[in-house]
């Protein structure tokens, strides 16, 4: 979807044009964070601004803003290797926010993290959304993430990936924690959809 792979068939279309203030409409957040290890937190964010000619105080303002939104203000001069996995992903999120994306493409952003950190970051992503709504396409294998964060869940079949079903979750994000039963039902339903597929995929030899 982000234009990094060539589709085997068909094409990805984008309806309308992105808002003018968006520097990079389709912005990735990677599973492995993809931070430059030789740049500080601040340097990693300024990397993506430099090419748009944003330097000096303008860049400083954007960096300060996104670091504040991801609660990283105290770590602007830390190097990635000094940070925990969760912090690294927050830096990557801050970097993505810095270019004011029209749509965030999150490629299993939490799957490299341990489950406690994952919980915390899910809350962070939710807070971020509640403060300032954004559009995101979030790919995950984790049903809990899908049920907690998604508004519309698209269940894909195993290879070749086809759409199996589209499930809307119309509970407001902030209320989901207080309705655990509703959420559990949704999650169970999703799991029923995927169960057989997952079992078959487990048995499959990969043809690489």
Partner 1 sequence: MSEQIKNAEQGASPVPYRGGGFRPKPVRIVAPILFAFLIGFWEFGAAIGWISPLVLPAPSEAFAAFKELLNSGDLARHLGASLQRLIFGWTAGSLLGIAFGIAAGLFTLARGGIVPFVAAIFPIPKIALLPLFIIWFGIGEESKIATILFGTFFPTVIAVYGGIDNVDRNLIRMGQSFNLKWWSIVWKIILPGALPAILSGFRISHPLPLFYSLRRK
Asked if 134 is part of the footprint of partner 1 (rule: CB under 8 A), the reply reads no
**Nearer to partner 1 by C-beta: 36 or 200?**
36
Please, which of residues 87-126 interact with partner 1 by CB under 8 A? 99
| Enclosing H/E stretch for 106 | strand 103-107
Count interface residues toward partner 1 (CB under 8 A): 16
Q: Does 24 bind partner 1 (CB under 8 A)?
A: yes
Among 12, 34, 120, 184, binds partner 1 (CB under 8 A): 34
Q: What are 144's two structure tokens?
A: 């809990």
Q: Which two tokens stand for residue 132?
A: 């300032």
- Binding flag, residue 75, partner 1 (CB under 8 A): no
Q: Which 3 state secondary structure label does DSSP give 26? A: strand
- Per CB under 8 A, does 70 bind partner 1? no
| By the rule CB under 8 A, 175 interacts with partner 1 | no
The answer to whether 47 contacts partner 1 (rule: CB under 8 A) is yes
- The 10 Å CB-count burial string (b at 16+, else e) for 58-83 is ebeebbeebbebbebeebbeebbeeb
Q: Is 28 in the site for partner 1 (CB under 8 A)?
A: yes
CA angle 24, 27, 33 (to 5 degrees): 135
**Three-state secondary-structure class, residue 107:** strand
- For residues 48 and 171, which CB has a smaller minimum distance to partner 1 in the complex? 48
CB of 38 to partner 1, least distance (A): 5
Q: Which stretch binds partner 1 (CB under 8 A): 34-42, 64-72, 162-170, 176-184?
A: 34-42
- With respect to partner 1, which residue has the nearer C-beta, 94 or 153? 94
- Map 148-196 to HEC letters: HHCCEEEEECCCCCCEEEEEECCCCHHHCCCCHHHHHHHHHHHHHHHHH
Distance from the first to the final alpha carbon of the chain: 23
Whose Cβ is closer to partner 1: residue 96's or residue 153's?
96
Question: Is residue 187 within the footprint of partner 1 (CB under 8 A)?
Answer: no
* 7, 9, 18, 50: residue in contact with partner 1 (rule CB under 8 A): 50
Beta strands 136-139 and 163-168 are unpaired
Which spans of this chain sit near partner 1 (rule: CB under 8 A)?
Answer: 2, 4, 24, 26-28, 30, 32, 34, 36, 38, 47-48, 50-51, 99
């Amino acid at each position: 979807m982000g234009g990094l792979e060539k589709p085997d068939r068909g094409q990805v279309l984008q309806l309308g044009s992105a808002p003018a203030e968006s520097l990079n409409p389709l912005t990735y957040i990677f599973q492995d964070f993809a931070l430059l290890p030789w740049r500080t937190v601040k340097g990693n964010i300024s990397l993506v601004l430099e090419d748009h000619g944003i330097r000096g105080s303008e860049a400083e303002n954007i960096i300060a803003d996104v670091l504040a939104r991801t609660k990283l203000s105290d770590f602007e001069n830390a190097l990635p290797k000094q940070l925990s996995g969760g912090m690294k992903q927050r830096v990557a999120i801050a970097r993505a926010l810095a270019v004011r994306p029209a749509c965030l493409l999150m490629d299993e952003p939490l799957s490299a993290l341990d489950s406690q950190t994952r919980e915390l970051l899910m809350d962070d992503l939710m807070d971020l959304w509640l403060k300032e709504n954004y559009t995101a396409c979030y790919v995950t294998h984790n049903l809990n993430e899908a049920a907690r964060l998604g508004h519309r869940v698209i269940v894909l079949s195993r290879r070749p990936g086809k759409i199996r079903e589209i499930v809307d979750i119309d509970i407001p994000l902030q209320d989901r924690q207080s309705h655990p039963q509703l959420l559990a039902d949704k999650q169970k339903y999703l799991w029923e959809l995927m169960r057989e597929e997952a079992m078959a995929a487990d048995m499959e030899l990969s043809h690489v």
